[in-house]
Each structure stands twice: as C-alpha cells, then as structure tokens.
Amino acid sequence: MSTPISFTPASTFVSGYPSAQEWLVAVMEDGVWVRASDVFDDKDEAKKAAAATPGGVLIGRETSPWAEIVEPRPREEYEYDGRMDPIVNRLIDGENADIRHALEADQSIAVTRYDKPRDRVAHRIGCPSLTDLLDRQKAWSTNFRQRLAEDHTFRPALPTFMTRDAARNLQLRECKVCAPDLADTPPPIRSLAAEGLSDHHIGLDLVTEGGSSQGIITDIDLHRSETTQRWSSDHVTVTTETGKYEYAGKDRVFVLTAVNKAAIARQEKHVRDLVGAA
C-alpha cells in the first residue's frame, strides 16, 4: 500500500504551474518538495518522468491545490583562490605542535570522534585510516579551506591523543585495521597451508605452532610446476627478517593475525617526521 503524500499549504507556487491540467515532478530534499522537471500538460508523460527520476513524485493540482514546490538553488561553483592558505598554514603549525607534544608525552593512542562517547574508536598512531587525518596539509582540503573562508570557527577533525593506560580505562572500541590491542593480549595464531600464503601476509609474523617467532615475513615465493594445479604449489619459500623457510605446498604454516607491524611502524615514523616529534 502506498503512503499518502501530504503537502504544506502555502501561498507560493512554481512559476508556470497555475492550472488543473498541468503536472510536474518533485523530489523531497531536507523536508522540502523541490521541483525536478519542467511542467507537463500530458499526465502520462509526467508519470514517465516521475518514474525515471530517483525519488520523483508526480505533482498536480489534483494531488494538492496548495502544494509548496520550491525551485532548487543552483550549487555555487568556484575555484579556490588560495587566499586562506596563510591562515591555514598557521593553524596547521598549531595542530602539528599539539600532535608533537602528545607523541613526546607517550600518548600513543589516537581516539576519533571523542566528542561522541558511543562512536569513539582507539587507533595506533600509525593506523592507515588516520593517514590523511594526521597529515594536516592533506586534512585541510580545498573544500575545507573554502569552508574556513565562510566560517572562521571551522576546523577539520583532529583525534584526541592519550596514553594506552588512559585508553584502556575508558574501555574504548578498538580499530579493526590497526588493532591497538589495549588489553595487551597475545594475538591469535592462524594456521593455513603454505600454498595459501600471499602478499597479504607480508609484514605479519611467521611463527611456530607453539607461537615462537620466526621473524616478520618480507617475501613469499610460490613454486609451481607445469603439472601442478593452478592454485597449488610444489613448494613455498618464505623469507623473513631472520632467514628463509622452505615448505611443501600442503604443509601447515602459522602466522600471527595481528596487523602489519612494519607498515604501522613506517606510518608512525612518517607522522613523527611530519610534526617534528622525537
């Protein structure tokens, strides 16, 4: 069953929509019906236009004699002229100083959306999802610089920094990308056939079945013969920071299902270099 559409009586109308024999298509935007078509004098044609318009609704005098339909405002197009850059650069200097002081105070956890307790998420400083947020030149996009010109109080989001202990006490939800592991629990070990290894596993810890580290994986070489099935390997060479390990394709290998520590460390170093933190 379709839901009846109610309209707010008003004294203003779309220009050229005066008679009972004319129709147009409208869409709801921010609680207001906005005109989305020219005026039709053929109701069937208007119905086709409404069906072809996402969210389109057929509007006519027979639907509501005093329906308020507003003309959509054209979006303003502009080219950012750089006039806010000197102000933004000063703001970035201050933001980088805040990040630098946090890192030097061993505040290694960045919490996003801190102002909304239910949405708070804890991240490592080197989390890939924070790359553009902690690089403040990138965070201050052209659109944001334009917004600053219109609203001098506007600022792009900046995470709240805290120590691991403080984050642990808040019982924060943890990012699944960087897995900050606030509980300091050993990461789970995943077992798989050696032939199932891929570049996705580079950067993870290769371990024994008992959990002893064999080093961070730096390269994986799958050796396939002409007679081997497409997805099978005769043998696999896994190179880690500490050496090379040879496996038959069906041998079980073990990796820690934690994040790529090397990538996280590189990104954290990049952040520290950006803000001048020791």
The verdict on 154 and 215 lying in the same domain is no
The verdict on 84 and 68 lying in the same domain is no
- Show the DSSP H helices in the chain as ranges: 43-52, 85-104, 131-134, 136-139, 142-150, 164-169, 261-275
pLDDT digits (tens, 9 = 90+) for 137-150: 999 999 899 999 98
Q: What are phi and psi of 118, to 5 degrees?
A: -75, -20
| pLDDT for 33 | 65
Average pLDDT value for the chain = 81
pTM higher than 0.95 for the full model?
Answer: no
The verdict on 267 and 146 lying in the same domain is yes
Highest-confidence range of 29-38, 42-51, 255-264, 266-275, by mean pLDDT?
266-275
The verdict on 219 and 181 lying in the same domain is no
| pLDDT for 169 | 94
| pLDDT for 39 | 74
pLDDT digits (tens, 9 = 90+) for 202-214: 878 899 998 888 9
The verdict on 277 and 139 lying in the same domain is yes
The verdict on 129 and 210 lying in the same domain is no
pLDDT at residue 164 tops 90: yes
Q: Which two tokens stand for residue 56?
A: 């389109």
Angle, alpha carbons 140-94-107 (nearest 5°):
100
Domain containing residue 275: 77-185+258-278
Which CATH number covers residue 213? 2.30.30.30
How many Cβ atoms sit within 10 Å of the Cβ of residue 87? 13
Task: Grade residue 67 by pLDDT with cuts at 50, 70 and 90.
Answer: very low
pLDDT at residue 266 tops 80: yes
The verdict on 149 and 277 lying in the same domain is yes
Number of domains in the chain: 3
